Structure 1
Amino acid sequence: MRDDPSGADLIEAARKALTDEVLPGLTGRPRYVALMVANALGIAAREIGDAHDLAAAGADLIGPDDPAGLVMSIREGRRDAAPDLHAALTVHADIASRIWRPRKA
């Protein structure tokens, strides 16, 4: 059972309060630091929110191999014609990009 609000929701609420209520009153170095903290909070909230999807995509990537085995099989060309691997890598990259480089709405 999941509690509401989630951890990601709480972090996002803190980020929003910081950017909407605290940042407008800051200038100079304190503003820069607050913006940096707001950015980190946004990344953490997205990472927590997408953690399940990212874990599932990672499991699809690894499959029966361990992570080192997957890397070795890719480097050796044994997975070049693996559409399932390509699809899993695409999903993983999409989720990671939502976390680290979100599109502005």
Structure 2
Amino acid sequence: YSQPDYGFPAAVTYTAQVSLSGNWDKPSEVYDINYDVVQSGEANHTVVMTQKSLATAITALNGYSRELVDGVPVIYDPAGQVYTGPTEGLGPQKVYIRAVAQIGDVES
């Protein structure tokens, strides 16, 4: 991708968003990945995120959650019940990912 042309030099920070529907206007269908996005490459034109953060986004968007109970991870299904099924994955899914540019400390 290329940095947006704001008409003036700007220090831009990039984050990533993930969606299973591509409906970016519906917050419940969008997962923000802010904490591990690394900007690298020429003029920071490459956004890199970890596989774990992408997997976490997909899992959360599918309605699953995880918490530690007495130091043991417990997975909950979309109905809020303890999930004891397979953990290898549910097969291929279409996933939409986009980079979000933000200038300095300006709120979006």
Bin the TM-score by the shorter chain: under 0.3
Greater helix share, 1 or 2? 1
**Larger Cα Rg: Structure 1 or Structure 2?**
1
Greater strand share, 1 or 2? 2
TM-score (norm 2): 0.27
Does 1 or 2 have the higher relative contact order (CA < 8 Å, sep 6+)?
2
TM-score (norm 1): 0.27
